[in-house]
Amino acid sequence: MAAGSLLTLLDDITVILDDVWIMTKLSAKKTAGVLGDDLALNAEQAVGLSPERELPVVWAVAKGSAKNKAMLIPAALILRALAPWLIQPLLMGGGLFLCYEGAEKLVHRWEHRGEHKPGEVLSAEDKVAGGLWESQKIAGAVRTDLILSAEIIALTLGLVAEMDFTRVFLVLLVISLLMTVGVYGLVGLIVKLDDIGLSLQKRAQAWLRALGRFILATAPRMLALISWLGTIAIFCVGGGILVHGIAPLHHAVEEMNAFVGLLAEGITGLVAGFVVVGLLKLVGRLRAPKV
C-alpha cells in the first residue's frame, strides 16, 4: 500500500516536471527576442568600466536582476489571482518608461556631444569602486532589467495561464533562473573578451595566437556596437510592449514580416520616447520660476 502510494507520488512529480520542462522550452522560444534585447542592454552597462570593475559590476546587476524576479514572481501570481486585467496596463507603463529612458539617453548624447564618452579616461572619483558613476550604471541596469523581467514573466504567464498554481510557479521560477544565468553569463563573457584575447596570444599554437589578435582587434568595435544596440533594443522592447497593448497596432504589426514588424515597434518606441521627453521638458519650463 505504502509502496503504491510512493509510486503514485513519484509518477505525479514526473508528470509535473515534464509539463514544466515543456512549457519552459516554449516560454524560452517566446521570450527569445526579449532575451536578446536584455543581453544587449546589460552588456552596454559594462562599456567604459575599468577592467577590474567589469565582472563586479556585472555580478551586482545580476544580483539585482535576481531580486527583481524574486519580487515579480509572487506579484505576478497575486495579480493572476486577484486582478489579471492590471498586468497589461502595468506593462504598458513600463514600456513607456523604457522608451523615455532611450530617448533621454539620445538627447543627453546630443547635448553633451564631444564631451566624455564611454571608454575614455574617467576622473579619480569615478574610478573608485562603488563610485557615483558606477553606482548609477548599476542602478540604471537593474531598473531596466525590472521592466524586461516583467515582460518575460508576463509573456510566460500568458503561455501557462490555463495551468494549475504549482506548474505556473515552477515554470516562472525555472525560466527566471535560466534567463538570469544565461544573460549575465554571456555578458560576463563579452566584457572579458580583451582578457581572453590576451590569454590566447600567449598560447603556443599559431592559430590560437591569431584568434587572440583578432579578438583584441575587434573587441573595442564590438563594445561600441553593443552600446548602440542596447539603445536600439530599448526602443524595440518598449515599442513592442506598447504595440502589443494597442489592438489596432498589434494586428497591423502581426501582418508584417518579422523585420518590418520589429522596425515598426522600434519606431513606435522612438516616437513615444521623444513625446514623453518633450512633454516633461515643456512641463519643466512651465514650472520654472520666471526671472
81-111 tens-digit pLDDT: 888 888 888 878 878 887 888 888 888 778 7
- pLDDT for position 137: 79
- Residue 121 in this model has a pLDDT that exceeds 60: no
- Residue 203 in this model has a pLDDT that exceeds 70: yes
- pLDDT for position 35: 61
- pLDDT for position 131: 67
Q: How far apart are the first and last CA of the chain?
A: 88
Predicted confidence band of residue 144 (pLDDT cuts 50, 70, 90): confident
Least confident of 46-50, 63-67, 224-228, 273-277: 46-50
- pLDDT for position 177: 87
| Mean of pLDDT values over 70-85 | 87
Euclidean distance between CA atoms 21 and 16, whole angstroms: 9
Euclidean distance between CA atoms 239 and 174, whole angstroms: 27
Grid coordinates belonging to 170: 515552477
Least confident of 59-63, 158-162, 204-208: 158-162
Torsion sign (Cα): 164, 167, 170, 174:
negative
Least confident of 77-86, 131-140, 206-215, 259-268: 131-140
- pLDDT for position 243: 87
Predicted confidence band of residue 182 (pLDDT cuts 50, 70, 90): confident
